[in-house]
Chains A and B, each alone.
Chain A
């Protein structure tokens, strides 16, 4: 029994150690590869740097109508964001009227907001200020270089059939007006600003038009992307922005990891000194707890933010609580004169209801916060619930198994080794 238990114990320690090392450095056997946990966790903008903007729709619409407007808005923004070619952008609705846009890696907030939040109401207007057609009727927009204008970039537009027809009628009418008169002008207006006002010389039947202006290549591509992406159905105002420099993000992450490492080490030392053998067991259980929490977070695709990291580091301190409750009970039983084996058994079962009741109340708080909270509160609730469940599991299953193995080895049977 003794040797078998020692082997099982060594095996468990080896597995846990491998898990921990694989978590830190990654793991590779043949084609089987696990990346380090640090790389697999999705990091929030506050940890990797970037820009986020919360835009609010200026509308009185409610219910289904609002829903429709917001979903359209989100789609348009998504198209524009995708055109920016970023690694992992994120566009989501927040509450009823808001849209949150996360742009990792972007440094210049202004450019990003301009590119994303422009209403981009493209209109073609005749000299009377009547709208001939709008951006919805544009099928495609791209940058062209017109040779006769010295290769200055322009934006070429292609209308859909309805737009082409309207444009043909309007150009025919304009071309019939006297030469040189302002009545020949068809202005191109973007967000109520005239960007070019060319005079029409001939009827244009093919559904094509060119916006000329003094664009740089970048401006022209941005304009083309805006028009392609479509107009936002509603005006948006910026209610919140945040720019985190990439160095600050990395700095926060590295400092948090360092804090976690030191914190964990100190907790190990404390548990080992105070509880001896059970303290060693608690340390193994704690490593398993941390691995479980991290893997569940990866599994859920959770995004780790700075408060999330802080919450996790805090939970490591709290996770030993169930172990502490068990060990204190065992010590009491030993002091009451019971044998080690009997003490472990009865201490364990007595601790169980305490652990259950105290954790269920915390879980209730977690569930409610998840249901009724928003944004960061929801994220916090998820981490809290995962933490509580994982700590109960490790304390009840892992700690118990390890305690039994230690007892069966018959080597560590002096009650002094149990902190009593």
Chain B
């Protein structure tokens, strides 16, 4: 497979996805979960399928602007999400109405959550800070074990993955909540691991193929590690997909970005990380030549 030859194609593809995602995110806004905006979520088992309109009717007397969705295997359950920060008393009142109308038991309130508005910003800030410091730590390690250019390329690839997954969140309107951070962190771990394996091969091949140019070395290295990249992402995808298909609602929200992240991480380790490094190396060679002449 010729990777380097078509690097402009790979770069444009990634940039396109990121730009489309971010523009969509800016136009329609990201679907921020209640953990970030503050608000309330209630999940109620109604024992039968009830239309969204009927539920909207019931809660309209509480003056709620709510998102309503059906969940569960037979869609007997509903999730009501409001941006309004309802306290426990108010939630109990709402549930009481449902309880009477549909003859429910206490256990049918499957879950309820409430977040004050300030919590999300804090989590966000800490997560961003820790990702930044982690990136710096990895940059130092890679510089020490490989070279600075590998380190920078790996970090750019990491940012690429984060932005692509963010774009996917925007495009598919996946709610950004606290599991979003866990998903992002998993992707960071996966992506860097995957990238290093390819870089490791390049480092090894440079020793043996001194006379060849960087493009050839990278192409050979990517091809040598290709089976491994695909197989590992396959086994990883197998387990997350099982989780996505069999999991409960909150796990599905978590598994979907992970599936996207795994695919992105594999893609970027092949098509983004090494081409960045090669471009830099080649640019340096050209620059050196001009300087010399």
Contact = CB atoms under 8 A, between A and B. Distances in A.
Interface in B99-126: 106-116, 118-119, 122-123, 126
Contacts of B87: 238
Given A318-B190, A324-B232, A110 B92 contact: yes
A366 B131 CA distance: 10
Contacts of A314: 186, 236, 239-240, 243, 258
Given A259-B245, A314-B240, A368-B134, 8 more contacts: A238-B116, A270-B234, A318-B236, A321-B228, A357-B200, A365-B137, A376-B182, A381-B185
A310 to B, nearest CB: 6
Contacts of A10: none
B144 to A, nearest CB: 10
A372 B129 CA distance: 8
B242 A243 contact: no
Contacts of A113: 88
A354 interface: yes
Interface stretch (A159-167, A169-177, A249-257): A249-257
Contacts of A263: 238-239, 241-243
B255 interface: yes
B138 interface: yes
A254 to B, nearest CB: 10
Interface of B: 43, 87-89, 91-92, 106-116, 118-119, 122-123, 126-127, 129-130, 133-134, 137-138, 141-142, 145-146, 154, 178-179, 181-182, 185-186, 188-190, 192-194, 196-197, 200-201, 204, 224-225, 227-228, 231-232, 234-243, 245-248, 250-251, 254-255, 258
Nearest to B158: A365
Nearest to B188: A365
B200 A373 contact: no
Given A259-B247, A271-B235, A239 B119 contact: yes
Given A109-B112, A243-B112, A314-B258, A256 B247 contact: yes
Q: Give the secondary structure class of A's interface.
A: helix
A102 interface: no
A-B pairs, top 8 by smallest CB distance, nearest first, are A239-B116, A317-B236, A317-B239, A263-B239, A263-B242, A368-B134, A358-B196, A259-B246
Question: Which of A255, A364, A374 is the most central at the interface, judged by chain B CB atoms within 10 Å of its CB?
Answer: A364
Nearest to B233: A317
Contacts of B137: 364-365, 367-368
Contacts of B126: 372-374, 377
B251 A266 contact: no
B113 A241 contact: yes
Nearest to A325: B228
A27 interface: no
Contacts of A107: 106-107
A310 B255 contact: yes
A110 B107 contact: no
Contacts of B188: 365
Contacts of A54: 119
B251 A320 contact: no
Nearest to A328: B228
A311 interface: yes
Contacts of A56: 116
Given A320-B232, A377-B185, A270 B238 contact: yes
B122 A95 contact: yes
Contacts of B200: 353-354, 357-358
A252 B72 CA distance: 11
Contact of B242 (A239, A262, A358, A365): A262
B127 A360 contact: no
B232 A321 contact: yes
Nearest to B116: A239
Contact of A380 (B185, B197, B248): B185
Contact of B112 (A241, A364, A374): A241
Given A256-B251, A376-B178, A247 B110 contact: yes
B250 to A, nearest CB: 6
A95 B123 CA distance: 11
A381 B186 CA distance: 10
B111 A245 contact: yes
A248 B248 contact: yes
A374 B145 CA distance: 30
A371 B145 CA distance: 23
Interface string A262-274: 1110110011001
Interface of A: 46, 54, 56, 95, 107-110, 113, 237-248, 251-252, 255-256, 258-260, 262-264, 266-267, 270-271, 274, 306-307, 310-311, 313-314, 316-318, 320-321, 324-325, 328, 332, 350, 353-354, 357-362, 364-369, 371-377, 380-381, 384
Contact of A369 (B108, B154, B185): B185
A102 B190 CA distance: 32
B228 A324 contact: yes
B248 A251 contact: yes
A240 B242 contact: no
B191 to A, nearest CB: 10
B112 A357 contact: no
Contacts of B231: 270, 274, 324, 328
B193 A259 contact: no
A37 B190 CA distance: 27
A280 to B, nearest CB: 15
Given A263-B243, A318-B232, A354 B127 contact: no
Nearest to A331: B227
Contacts of B185: 365, 369, 377, 380-381, 384
Contacts of B181: 376-377
Contacts of B130: 368-369, 371-373, 377
Nearest to B228: A328
Given A95-B122, A255-B248, A313 B116 contact: no
A360 B141 contact: yes
Question: Which of B114, B123, B188, B235 is the most central at the interface, judged by chain A CB atoms within 10 Å of its CB?
Answer: B235
B267 to A, nearest CB: 16
B254 A310 contact: yes
Nearest to B200: A354
23 contacts: A109-B88, A239-B116, A243-B113, A245-B108, A255-B247, A259-B239, A259-B247, A262-B242, A270-B235, A270-B238, A274-B231, A307-B179, A313-B242, A313-B243, A317-B235, A318-B232, A358-B192, A358-B197, A366-B189, A371-B133, A376-B181, A377-B181, A384-B185
